[in-house]
């Protein structure tokens, strides 16, 4: 079966890109990366892509007069690449409504919280201030409104009483690195369909047991 062609959009470190690169190296993984696009030049994610022998492009948002012009350039490059699925992986630009509509259900994002909680920036800071016992990450189809859209995969991550933003970010990132390849695999295998704005997954395994985290105060 032909592998689904991915375009991965980054703006920075690219650890999620790396997780997708690693997954695509597996011979039976049903997707391959056709192109990596960065909205910023010189970011570590571009080095990862180059090191893996992938085609890369920089579409520097600063070179465009507005968002629509940037999105038009992005759209052209994506269409040329033959990508069937676009994966936002730490891509720091808000996309226009027209772009989100024209890639509807072929455009996915990863967000470092259990959406719809903690949408937007500083998700970990806000999870810590709220005292939640779990946070996590979400892979979802993109809609024009930020951090909205049908949820494909989530992972729950416990919050520890002595967590800092950094320790929590690391724990969530390692969950992200499992969730993104899984979501891409499910889509590439044709097991995901969106009905009434809910993503339905054919043949997914779900643990039945609840995980409890009262969170010990450790002498506080």
Main-chain phi, psi angles of 121, to 5 degrees: -85, 165
Q: 197, exposed or middle or buried, with CB in 10 Å at 0-12, 13-18, 19+?
A: exposed
Q: Give least dist CB 199 to ligand GRF, A.
A: 18
Pick the closer one to ligand GRF by CB: 51 or 190. 51
Pick the closer one to ligand GRF by CB: 172 or 192. 172
Pick the closer one to ligand GRF by CB: 76 or 171. 171
**Which residues are at the interface with ligand GRF (CB under 6 A)?**
12-16, 45, 89-90, 110-112, 137, 173, 176
Token look-up 């996915």 returns 108
Give the residue closest to ligand GRF by C-beta: 90
- Paired tokens of 10: 């980054």
Q: Which residue, 46, 138, 25, 32, is CA-closest to 85?
A: 32
Q: Which residues belong to the active site?
A: 111
Q: Give least dist CB 135 to ligand GRF, A.
A: 11
Q: Give least dist CB 172 to ligand GRF, A.
A: 7
Is residue 135 within 8 A of residue 157, CB to CB? The reply is yes
Q: Which residue, 177, 163, 88, 93, is CA-closest to 131?
A: 163
**Helix, strand or coil for residue 82?**
coil
Pick the closer one to ligand GRF by CB: 121 or 191. 121
């Amino acid at each position: 079966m032909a592998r689904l062609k991915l375009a991965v959009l980054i703006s920075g470190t690219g650890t999620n890109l790396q997780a997708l690169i690693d997954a695509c190296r597996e011979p039976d993984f049903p997707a391959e990366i056709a192109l990596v696009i960065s909205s910023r030049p010189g970011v570590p994610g571009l080095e990862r892509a180059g090191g893996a022998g992938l085609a890369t492009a920089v579409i520097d948002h600063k070179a465009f007069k507005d968002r629509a012009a940037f999105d038009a350039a992005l759209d052209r490059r994506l269409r040329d690449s033959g990508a069937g699925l676009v994966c936002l992986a730490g891509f720091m630009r808000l996309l226009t409504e027209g772009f989100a509509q024209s890639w509807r259900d072929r455009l996915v994002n990863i967000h470092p919280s259990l959406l719809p909680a903690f949408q937007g920036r500083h998700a970990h800071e806000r999870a810590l201030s709220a005292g939640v016992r779990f946070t996590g990450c979400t892979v979802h189809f993109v809609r024009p409104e930020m951090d909205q859209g049908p949820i494909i995969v989530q992972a729950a991550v416990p919050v520890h009483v002595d967590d800092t933003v950094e320790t929590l970010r690391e724990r969530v990132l390692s969950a992200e690195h499992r969730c993104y390849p899984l979501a891409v695999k499910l889509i590439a295998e044709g097991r995901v369909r969106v009905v009434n704005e809910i993503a339905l997954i054919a043949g997914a395994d779900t643990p039945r047991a609840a995980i409890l985290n009262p969170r010990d105060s450790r002498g506080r």
